[in-house]
Amino acid sequence: MRRSVALFVAASMLVLALPAIADPEVPGDPEVQPAEMVLIQGGIYAMGDPGSTEFPDHQVKVGDFWIDKTEVTNAQYYAYCQATDADLPMFWGIERFRSGLEYPDHPVIGISHNEAAKYAEWAGKRLPTEAEWEYAARGGLTGLRYDVADTLGVDEANTKSTDQDGPVAVGSYRPNGYGLVDMVGNVREMVADRWAPFEGDPEVVLENPVGPDKGRWYVIKGGGWFSGRGCNHIANRNVLPSGWRDFNVGFRCAKDTATQED
């Protein structure tokens, strides 16, 4: 584990469903499009990667929850900064990473896990758990490495293989079976859980699991524009410290069904 964490951090440092509904409009910029959320009906699924020693597949049950259809955008995060006096993202205004109001519909990057959690709280939401994120990413399908197939074509997601050389506008690629976009590719996504290896019985169903209460490392899921195809499969997990800001990592929000307006 320590080796994989070190390699990831070193690599990063080399380069600076059911009907969807819309959230109430967020304050700040009247032109900001409110985030659209999709209701995911919970169930039991095989979480993890068959044959993996770090995170073998095991049975998990999640309840119903709402999740953003897209990754949080530059415009949405800017509205939050304007409303709360929060700092702009680390790479704001850098053309190389398409970060700034010139790219309002691109995913926000260059923010830490702590900052993402504060945004989610401000929006009346939270970060999804790792189990929720992976369940949603699978789009109702089972046994596949990606969200629609076992292979990933260059026209199906924004990865390093597409030569986009940066994030693209959210929703530029096809949705999965739940209508969610960019669960594979564009940017990796932060979740609520701290990292821990799976050490339980793979035949025992875990209900709404969450990570440990303490720990420096938080899980990031999926892949991104700077990730090779092998790092974009749904079960893939990596980690970042809570204060780290990365050019290949963003997030989307989730919400409990009991708190979502009908």
Domains and CATH numbers, the chain: 17-259 (3.90.1580.10)
User: Which pTM value belongs to this model?
Assistant: 0.85
d(CA 206, CA 55): 14
Give pLDDT, residue 144.
Answer: 67
For residue 3, the Cα-to-chain-centroid distance in whole angstroms is: 23
Q: How many angstroms separate the CA atoms of 233 and 215, rounded?
A: 25
Least Cα distance to 76 among 152, 209, 84, 246 occurs for 84
What residues pair up with 44 in beta bridges, in sequence order? 61
- C-alpha 116/C-alpha 82 separation (Å) is 15
- At 250, give phi and psi (nearest 5°): -135, -150
Which residues of the chain have a pLDDT value below 70?
1-31, 143-153, 229, 259-262
Per the structure block, which two tokens stand in for 105? 């519909």
Question: Which pairing describes strands 58-62 and 206-207: parallel, antiparallel, or unpaired?
Answer: parallel
Position 248 scores a pLDDT of 95
CA dist., res. 160 & res. 233, Å (int):
13
Contact call for residues 260 and 37 (beta carbons, < 8 A): yes
In this predicted model, what pLDDT tens digit does every residue of 125-168 receive, in sequence order? 999 999 999 999 999 877 666 655 566 667 777 888 888 899 99
Q: SS3 helix, strand, coil % of the chain, rounded to 5?
A: 20, 20, 60
**Nearest in space to 251 (alpha carbons), one of 160, 178, 190, 170:** 190
